[in-house]
């Protein structure tokens, strides 16, 4: 992927609001046709980054290159992108057709061409026949589709989406995510989407750029972020994580309270925290022989039934009150949580699922 020149290159972008640093030396390469999500908690700078790319905000330092052209100082209208915001931002007094045709210059397009393009766009977003309706006659999801059609009508080479689904209710949002992703792939349009919703980012993105406090913390495929988070912030932000404070022991081993854990590779030589996903903790019945590494008894403190699985809260022996969360299938959960059962289990923390962080 990195051998091709990127479609959009952001280099060393820095933005200060007074003494507050909103963007701290952000660099990012986006390939043509990719959908990249900017993900992070509120205030981390993702909207500021999008606005700098759109030319709605000027960065203090840094360069933005799009399709080989330095656009850092160009006005928004010369940058060749379509943009969609959280609120539909349609003109209430214009029809759907007029809204979609708004960005199509009458100087460059005949009225019949505009009509045809509007109808193509409505087809694309699944709203054929709605030309003469007014925004108020449409649901939130439909209005957002019209706004998308409007953004795409001039055939921009970049699509910028700023939390485009956050004003919609959960069901509509889930459907629209899938539709939007399918459409993006069909058009192969390079897309940058801001979201604070990790599930949305996981569902839609080719790659996710995780931001924290104005910095780009990690930029990778969703699977890679989930399996190998670069730091505790990413691990905690994407999916659920167990954290176990450790002290180094020797070679491949560390100590978590009084329990020795084998990491399967050279252990760090200073204290830190071990990270393991709940689904990677193996839960066994107590009668299972304990001849595997990193296997010990645990008390079952709590269990919640979540349909496809149970989430258990466990207190491993020798870890002095630390608890971990683990996932088990419904049958095993029923058995372990039976009121007559001993509420004990054996757990294994596989070496390959343990990641050490400082």
Instruction: By CB under 6 A, name the binding residues for ligand ATP.
Output: 17, 22, 40, 42-48, 196
Residue whose pair of structure tokens reads 């095993």 in the numeric block: 332
DSSP letter for 249, please: E
Distance CA 61, CA 42 (A): 23
Nearer to ligand ATP by Cβ, of 44 and 208: the residue is: 44
- Classified as helix, coil or strand, 239 is coil
CB of 49 to ligand ATP, least distance (A): 7
Judged by beta carbon, residue 101 or residue 164, the one nearer ligand ATP is 164
**Residue nearest ligand ATP, Cβ-based:** 47
Q: What is the smallest separation between the CB atom of 15 and ligand ATP, expressed in angstroms?
A: 8
- Provide the minimum distance between the beta carbon of 47 and ligand ATP in the complex, in angstroms, as a whole number: 3
- Confirm if 275 and 241 have CB atoms less than 8 A apart: yes
Measured from the CB atom, the residue of 177 and 196 that comes closer to ligand ATP is 196
Q: Which is nearer to ligand ATP, 53 or 298 (CB)?
A: 53
Q: Which helix (H) or strand (E) holds 28?
A: strand 20-30
Please state the closest distance from residue 233 (CB atom) to ligand ATP, in A: 14
Q: What is the enclosing helix (H) or strand (E) of 297?
A: strand 295-305
Cβ contact 33:188 at 8 Å:
yes
What is the closest distance, in whole angstroms, from the C-beta atom of residue 61 to ligand ATP in the complex?
16
Based on CB atoms, which residue is closest to ligand ATP, 22 or 152?
Answer: 22
Residue with tokens 């060749």: 80
The span from the CA of 242 to the CA of 55, in Å, is 41
């Amino acid at each position: 992927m990195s051998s091709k020149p990127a479609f959009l290159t952001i280099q060393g972008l820095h933005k200060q609001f007074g003494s507050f640093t909103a963007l701290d030396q952000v660099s990012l390469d986006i390939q043509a046709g990719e959908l990249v999500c900017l993900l992070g908690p509120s205030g981390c700078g993702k909207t500021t980054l999008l606005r700098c790319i759109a030319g709605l905000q000027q960065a203090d330092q840094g360069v933005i290159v799009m399709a080989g052209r330095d656009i850092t100082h160009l006005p928004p209208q010369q940058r060749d992108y379509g943009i969609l915001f959280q609120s539909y931002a349609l003109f209430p007094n214009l029809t759907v057709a007029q809204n979609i045709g708004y960005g199509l210059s009458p100087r460059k397009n005949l009225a019949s061409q505009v009509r045809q393009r509007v109808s193509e766009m409505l087809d694309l977003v699944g709203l054929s026949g709605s030309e003469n309706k007014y925004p108020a006659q449409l649901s939130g999801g439909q209005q957002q589709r019209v706004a998308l059609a409007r953004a795409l009508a001039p055939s921009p080479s970049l699509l910028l989406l700023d939390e485009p689904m956050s004003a919609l209710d959960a069901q509509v949002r889930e459907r629209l995510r899938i539709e939007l992703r399918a459409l993006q792939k069909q058009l192969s349009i390079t897309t940058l989407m801001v979201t604070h919703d990790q599930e949305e980012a996981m569902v839609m993105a080719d790659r996710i750029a995780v931001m924290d406090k104005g910095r780009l913390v990690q930029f990778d495929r969703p699977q890679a972020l989930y399996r190998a988070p670069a730091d505790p912030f990413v691990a905690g932000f994407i999916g659920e994580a167990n954290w176990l404070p450790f002290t180094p022991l020797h070679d491949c081993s560390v100590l978590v309270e009084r329990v020795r854990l084998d990491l399967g590779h050279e252990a760090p030589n200073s204290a830190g925290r071990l990270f393991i996903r709940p689904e990677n903790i193996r839960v066994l019945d107590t009668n299972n022989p304990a001849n595997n590494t990193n296997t010990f008894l645990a008390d079952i403190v709590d269990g919640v039934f979540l349909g496809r699985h149970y989430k258990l809260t466990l207190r491993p022996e020798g870890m002095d009150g630390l608890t971990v969360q683990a996932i088990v299938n419904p049958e095993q959960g029923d058995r372990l949580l039976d009121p007559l059962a001993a509420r004990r289990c054996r757990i294994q923390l596989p070496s390959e699922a343990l990641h050490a962080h400082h």
